[in-house]
Amino acid sequence: MRDWLVAGALLEGPQGLLLVQNRRRDGSVDWSPPGGVIDAGETVLDGLAREVHEETGLVVTGWERKVYDIEAHAPDMGWTLRVEAWLAATWEGEVRFADPDGIVEAAAWVDPAGCDARLGRGAPWVAEPVLAWMVDRWSESRRFAYRIDGHERGSMVVTRV
């Protein structure tokens, strides 16, 4: 069973929330907040700051708070994913692309309607928490959990638990 920790950054500017377009190994494309896998020995916030910089060129200079946690368990595919999403308080720089993993192809500041359209085509465990937060703006961290059944992306069944 593969188990990994990922962090995502919620950066809001005047035009909306910053989302990145990702090209996956299977050639599919989806949108998400910037972020990625936290490396061994990194704190979540250090790893998240690194990922944001790699994917967008922005340097986060302050974090406000953790907004939500996600646990997604996919026993048929042999993995468990844990995610922490943090709200960035301040950042500097201009958006540019230098993703060493070659996954991020674009970035955009997206208004709420655009977030729904872009995130809605991706994984529910990515889209639902972001979209719920954009509506409710809760002040204490929330937890989301998902079970993914099936052996491949095209036929998986995702249940919120």
Question: Is the model's pLDDT at 24 over the cut of 90?
Answer: no
The predicted pLDDT at position 99 comes to 80
Task: Work out how many domains the chain is built from and give that number.
Answer: 1
The predicted pLDDT at position 98 comes to 75
Question: Is the model's pLDDT at 5 over the cut of 90?
Answer: yes
Indicate the pLDDT class of residue 136, thresholds 50, 70 and 90. very high
Average pLDDT over residues 117-141: 95
Average pLDDT over residues 3-17: 96
For every residue of the chain, DSSP letters joined together read -EEEEEEEEE-EETTEEEEEEEE-TTS-EEEE-SEEEPPTT--HHHHHHHHHHHHHS-EEEEEEEEEEEEEEEETTTTEEEEEEEEEEEEEES------TTS-EEEEEEE-HHHHHHHHTTS-HHHHHHHHHHHHH--SS-EEEEEEEESSSGGG-EEEE-
58: domain CATH number is 3.90.79.10
Structural domain for 122, as ranges? 2-160
